[in-house]
A and B are shown apart, each in its own frame.
Chain A
Amino acid sequence: MNNIINFFISLTNNFKAKVGLYILFIFIITSIFAPLIIGSPSDYVGVPLQAPSTEFWFGTNGQGQDVFAQTLHGAQKTLFIAFLSGFLVVLVGAFLGGVAGYFGSRLDDVISLLINVFLLLPGLPLMVILAAWLPPGPLTIIVVLVFTGWAWHARVLRSQVMVFSNQDFVLASKVCGESSFRIIMIEILPRMLPLIASSFIGATIYGIGAQVGLEFLGLGDISQVTWGTNLYWATNDLALLTGSWWTYVPTGVSIALVSLSLTLINFGIDELANPRLISERHLSNKLDGEFDRNSVTPVRMKNNVNT
């Protein structure tokens, strides 16, 4: 448990992760509180396709709705679905991958086959079909995202679990008579925390991108206000042809910023977990000067002489 807490503390000290966390935090807070402050985004408040002004910070869209309100409201649904689907993807992936990696033999064969088949199914077309079939709504999007996204992470997590399962500490636990459940939950998974966190973030990023893509195609629930549907309406109202970039750009930039923040956090996790990067960091913390990083251990360079 200590390890887990330590991990998160060091994460917040990492520069890249810090930036990422700040950005993400801003968006999350906005998405939770803004809808309470700003009025309903679907009210027809102004002349359609007005450029940004002091009255409407982001201007109005093709139906005379406030783009600023729409962007803020859209954050809530989009982020919620993305995080939830990311969480579920990792849950399913960790469970199936863990079971396969730990128990091996027959069970592994079956689950591996399942993983490989799912990996072979083309993601985007499958998403389009599922979304077209199921009734529009957040539940559908989540089902589609989890259905198409779990296999990749399951495979990654399975490999890692397999590696750990063959190591001494697991064998020792088995000898001591610990139940498989305990071994997986208490011994193996906590050690895989960076990988799991990284998978969660990766799945969330995928969740955002896929969700927005589907809604852009009109396959989501169009009567909801989300980032994806904002872009859908912007396109339908021929935003670019009318030169109304403000109906289009704020949402796009928001999506990019959130994805970026998650990616930065992922970089941070990587720097924490990758042993090589760890040692580099420790050294650069303790010593100053230039390092030649292309050796087994970073070597301090003197007077620009490169070995």
Chain B
Amino acid sequence: MNKSVIYIFRRFLFYCLAGFMAITLNFLIPRLMPGDPASIMFAQFKGKLKPEALDALKETFGFADGPLLMQYFDYLKHLFRGDFGVSISYFPQPVVEVISSGLYWTLFLAGTSLIISFILGSIVGIFLAWNRDQKLDSFLIPTLSFLGAFPYFFIAMLLLYYFGFILDWFPLRHAYSQYVTPGYNLDFIISVLSHSILPAFTLIFVSLGGWMLSMRNNMISILGTEYINYAKAIGYDKKILMFRFAARNALLPSITGFGMALGFILSGALLTEIIFSYPGQGYLLLQAVRAQDFPLLQGIFLTITFSVLLSNLIVDIILLLLDPRIRK
């Protein structure tokens, strides 16, 4: 037991270190871009602001200037106080408020899609590995690979166009209808669900093949091992063999992948959100980059880094619990 605790602690320390390095990089990279937020904001209006407005804007965002090192320490200081500053492109909304609106929707959409895709893909992968039908294999795998080879946004736009625009089966944008009030009422919940079907479907559609293949490959290598053969010889029921023995072990490498993917959902749904106008964090990130909104960018990065580290740590703990070999 002690060994496990030490192991987790070591991983935790490592994540802290990696996290710190990531935070520093996250701070540096936006600042190395040419231009400054005031000028960018000015330029966005394509000349509809007077040249004097530039001075006024620079005056407002004066805090963005100053020596880099000072900015860095300032940044760290505020970070530990939980103060992420005020967004530039959504001035004067605090960064925390801007992010929080998008965060939940991204977690909802990308999170549920990931979970469904993982579970569905893994189950199909298990079956595929067990019933090694040559014909099914050589048909299904290339087909799924082909479908997964299309650029994501391509499929998303086609589906949106056909099912949303032409057939009118699904809503064309947003996370919920503009005619319902947010809250714990049935109309709202149904609206949220119906608005999430198309984007979630595209997310699942494109990633399904990956989970399925990886699970299938894991299963195949497990099924070739001695203990499976032994269990078969003893006379275990096929179903029990498949799920209790083979699948459980095949799941382990997949969980690592799942953990990584979980950590990155806060950054991965960018194209989905753009195409379906889903109010999540991905698009916010793109906007922040374009506007050189440093505080917002740093805030978003922080959430992504934090969630990646956290999910990695959780995955490490889960693996520790599931796989006795690690404890040794």
Residues of A in contact with B (beta carbons under 8 Å apart): 16, 113, 116-117, 119-126, 128-130, 132-133, 205, 209, 212-213, 216-217, 231, 235, 240-241, 248, 252, 255-260, 263-264, 267, 276, 293-296, 307
- Which residue of chain B has its CB nearest to the CB of A130? B29
Is the CB of B54 closer than 8 A to any CB of chain A?
no
- Which residue of chain B has its CB nearest to the CB of A251? B154
Q: Are A216 and B151 in contact (CB under 8 A)?
A: yes
Q: Give 1 or 0 for each of B20-46: 1 = CB within 8 Å of chain A CB.
A: 011001100110111000000000000
- Contact status of A122 and B301, CB under 8 A, knowing A129-B30, A216-B151, A296-B224: yes
Q: Are B132 and A128 in contact (CB under 8 A)?
A: no
A270 nearest CB across to chain B (Å)? 8
Q: Give 1 or 0 for each of B116-151: 1 = CB within 8 Å of chain A CB.
A: 000000000000001010000000011001100111
Interface of B is mostly: helix
Q: Are B267 and A125 in contact (CB under 8 A)?
A: yes
Q: Are A122 and B267 in contact (CB under 8 A)?
A: yes
A123 to B308: give the CA distance in the assembly, Å: 12
B282 nearest CB across to chain A (Å)? 8
Q: How many residues of chain B have a CB within 8 Å of chain A?
A: 58
Task: Offer 19 A-B interface pairs, CB within 8 angstroms, sorted by A.
Answer: A113-B17, A113-B21, A116-B14, A120-B19, A122-B266, A124-B268, A125-B270, A128-B289, A129-B33, A217-B286, A231-B154, A252-B154, A255-B150, A256-B149, A264-B142, A264-B145, A276-B224, A295-B232, A296-B224
Chain A residues near B19 (CB-CB < 8 A): 120
Chain B residues near A260 (CB-CB < 8 A): 142, 145-146, 149
Chain A residues near B286 (CB-CB < 8 A): 128, 217
Interface centre among B17, B142, B268 (most CB of A within 10 A): B142
Is the CB of B161 closer than 8 A to any CB of chain A?
yes
15 additional A-B residue pairs with CB within 8 Å, beyond A120-B19, A126-B29, A260-B142? A113-B21, A117-B22, A122-B266, A122-B301, A128-B285, A130-B29, A216-B151, A216-B271, A231-B154, A240-B157, A252-B150, A255-B151, A256-B146, A293-B132, A296-B225
A120 to B19: give the CA distance in the assembly, Å: 8
Chain A residues near B29 (CB-CB < 8 A): 126, 129-130, 133
A264 to B267: give the CA distance in the assembly, Å: 29
A213 nearest CB across to chain B (Å)? 7
B294 nearest CB across to chain A (Å)? 11
Choose one: B150, B165, B289; the contact of A132 (CB below 8 Å): B289
Chain B residues near A256 (CB-CB < 8 A): 146, 149-151, 154
